[in-house]
Amino acid sequence: MAILDHARAQVLGDGEGLDEAGVLAVLSLPDDEVPAALQLAHEVRMRWCGPEVEVEGIVSLKTGGCPEDCHFCSQSGLFTSPVRSVWLDIPALVEAARQTAATGATEFCIVAAVRRPDERLMAQMREGVAAIRAAVDIQIAASLGMLTQAQVDQLVEMGVHRYNHNLETARSYFPQVVTTHTYQERWETLRMVRDAGLEVCCGGILGLGESIGQRAEFAVELAALAPHEVPLNFLNPRPGTPLGDRPIVDGRDALRAIAAFRLALPRTILRYAGGREITLGDLGTRDGLLGGINAVIVGNYLTTLGRPAADDLALLEELRMPVKALSATL
């Protein structure tokens, strides 16, 4: 329990995240101390972030056929995944944004499975973002892979306010997960995004085969980046991918990770993202929201389905956690 006493003073009291040794200690807590860690993480979230929960919807603008080999991803064209390549047209993109806004979400993230955007994709983004802004009252984020400085500038001009580019895992483990580009290349895109004034969204996936120590390493690497938002995914092993036979993260380990990441990142938006349904189920969603999580992706993901948005919204109401209003994000 010593680590939790230390965290109470440093993280809750001063708003300063745990270092790698501290995060590792939380990730190594025995089962009977996990509830106390979650309670502390919740207190940290409430003190440094407040009670509001940011709700987001995501959609895939360009699905499948990606030239990269991220071993967890069913959209890589290098694996024998059943996911086929498909593009979303602009009317359907606007409708997806409208559906997302109707849930009360303030964020709508447009995602493309690419190494980096080409001219066709940037043109589709320009048209799509303009059409959404004309028709739907929602903030627009994007996730289009690695960017050039010119593309960063173009996204700013379009009115995109946040950019997602996940580091996915610890620097020391990244080469085991991706071989077609480097951790440093991702970091460089994140640097350009931040320098351009866009909000940085950067997280990853737990359960890729990383060690507990590498999980702690990843948390403090994210803390060093100081992103506006950290989406926390749990591996949903996809058929046909190199990680398709990996076991699902144990629910108790997932909850340890939620608490540990919150104690490493006391002021960051920590978002429940993919995999929570299979790793934690309905009860886990509640436990996470009472253990440091303060944002959710509602509805479906890019290639898989999520909990109905209404279920998450009903849970937030039951927990008396207000959905962050659009006016609060502008």
Partner 1 sequence: MIWCARCGGALSNRGADRGADRGTDRGTDRGAAPAVDGDAPPAVDGDAAPAAARGGHEACAAALALEPPRFCPRCRRRMKVQVLPTGWVATCVEHGRTQG
Contact positions vs partner 1 (CB under 8 A): 57-60, 63, 79-86, 88, 92, 95-96, 99-100, 103, 237, 239-240, 244-245, 277-278, 298-306, 309
Tokens of 320: 């008396």
**Cβ nearer to partner 1, comparing 58 with 216:** 58
Residues 6+ positions from 268 with CB-CB distance below 8 Å:
49, 222, 226, 227, 228, 229, 230
Q: Give the shortest CB-96-to-partner 1 separation in angstroms.
A: 5
Q: Give the shortest CB-86-to-partner 1 separation in angstroms.
A: 5
Q: Give the shortest CB-50-to-partner 1 separation in angstroms.
A: 26
DSSP 273-320: -TTHHHHTHHHHHHHHHTTT--EEE-S--SSS----HHHHHHHHHHTT
Rounded to whole angstroms, the Cα distance separating 316 from 320 reads 6
Helical packing angle, 309-318 and 281-289, nearest 10°? 50
* Amino acid in position 197: G
Q: Give the shortest CB-83-to-partner 1 separation in angstroms.
A: 7
Q: On the CB side of 162, how many CA atoms lie within 13 Å of its CA?
A: 26
**Cβ nearer to partner 1, comparing 77 with 213:** 77
**Cβ nearer to partner 1, comparing 221 with 312:** 312
Q: Give the shortest CB-113-to-partner 1 separation in angstroms.
A: 12
**Cβ nearer to partner 1, comparing 79 with 218:** 79
Q: Give the shortest CB-178-to-partner 1 separation in angstroms.
A: 21
**Cβ nearer to partner 1, comparing 12 with 114:** 114
| φ, ψ (nearest 5 deg) of residue 56 | -135, 150
**Cβ nearer to partner 1, comparing 86 with 130:** 86
Tokens of 149: 């400085």
Q: Which of 105, 125, 158, 110 minimizes the C-alpha distance to 271?
A: 105
Write the CA distances from 308 to 11, 63, 237, 264, 314, integer angstroms: 34, 22, 21, 30, 10
CA angle at 107 for the pair 102 and 108, rounded to the nearest 5°: 80
**Cβ nearer to partner 1, comparing 124 with 303:** 303
Q: Give the shortest CB-240-to-partner 1 separation in angstroms.
A: 5
Residues 6+ positions from 102 with CB-CB distance below 8 Å:
none
CB 58 within 8 A of CB 107: no
